[in-house]
Amino acid sequence: MRKFAPALLAITSFWFAAPALASEDTQNWETVTVNIGLPDRFKLQNETVVRSGGPKGFYEVESNLMVGRKLDKVVTVWLGYTFDPQYNKGTFVLREHRFRQQINFDNFLKLGNVKISGRLRLEERWREGIGGGAAWRLRPQIKASMPFIGKTALSVSHESFIDLNTNTFQKVGGEERMRNAIYVSAPLNKKFSIEFGYLNQHGFVRNGPDTSDHVLTLGLTASF
């Protein structure tokens, strides 16, 4: 671990660096993920994320249902749907629907005891009662993981949100935000694992101060 700690520290310091002129917020995100193995190398995944914090209080419940197929040891392809009701201090505001296509590249590179994984996600988004057609968004992610203490692992990740078009609610094309995270994950038993960490979500605002959300994350995963 000592051998790669300086590299991980340098990567983390670079990714978490944000401009000083940013509107900051503190949030909590809790995630529950259920993975079910199916015949012929298919997988079913349900992920639910609850988000709250800052002036909006409880503001989102994101539910993702995906079906994937593992093509080989590295590549898994996924199709899915996201149901995303949004709130302001617990009061319903709007519903967003997403169609999702995704390719995962698990442990495609190994540097000593550091494993590198990647993911490429394409989303089409619609909001009820708001016209303008679909908002297309690309979300590439890269993650580095290494053994930490015992069976726990330490991971850092970077994800960009790139808007591919504009419509009524997706008003500016290009990179809209990025998420940089550091977290520890550990198995609880053969079927359940837990992870906790810190995530910074940095939003790029045209002609205004950027935003910076400081997020405490907690996740529980069950695999069957």
Average pLDDT (61-90) is 97
* Model pLDDT, residue 55: 86
The listed CATH number (3.30.70.2390, 2.40.160.40, 3.40.720.10, 1.10.3720.10) that belongs to domain 5-16+38-223:
2.40.160.40
Indicate if the pLDDT at residue 5 is higher than 70.
no
pLDDT confidence bin for 113, thresholds 50/70/90: very high
pLDDT confidence bin for 7, thresholds 50/70/90: very low
Average pLDDT (38-53) is 97
Average pLDDT (19-32) is 82
What's the chain's average pLDDT? 91
> What's the pTM value of the predicted model, to 2 decimals?
0.88
Q: Map the chain to HEC letters.
A: CCCCHHHHHHHHHHHHCCCCCEEEEEEEEEEEEEEEECHHHEEEEEEEEEEEEHHHCEEEEEEEEEEEEECCCCEEEEEEEEEEEEEECCEEEEEEEEEEEEEEEEEEEEECCEEEEEEEEEEEEEECCEEEEEEEEEEEEEEEEEECCCCCEEEEEEEEEEECCCCCCCCCCEEEEEEEEEEEEEECCCCEEEEEEEEEEEECCCCCCEEEEEEEEEEEEEEC
Express each pLDDT in 138-193 by its tens digit. Answer: 999 999 999 999 999 999 999 999 999 999 999 889 999 999 999 999 999 999 99
Tokens of 52: 């709250």
* Model pLDDT, residue 13: 47
* Model pLDDT, residue 22: 65
Domains of the chain, residue spans: 5-16+38-223
Indicate if the pLDDT at residue 68 is higher than 50.
yes
Express each pLDDT in 10-21 by its tens digit. Answer: 444 444 444 445
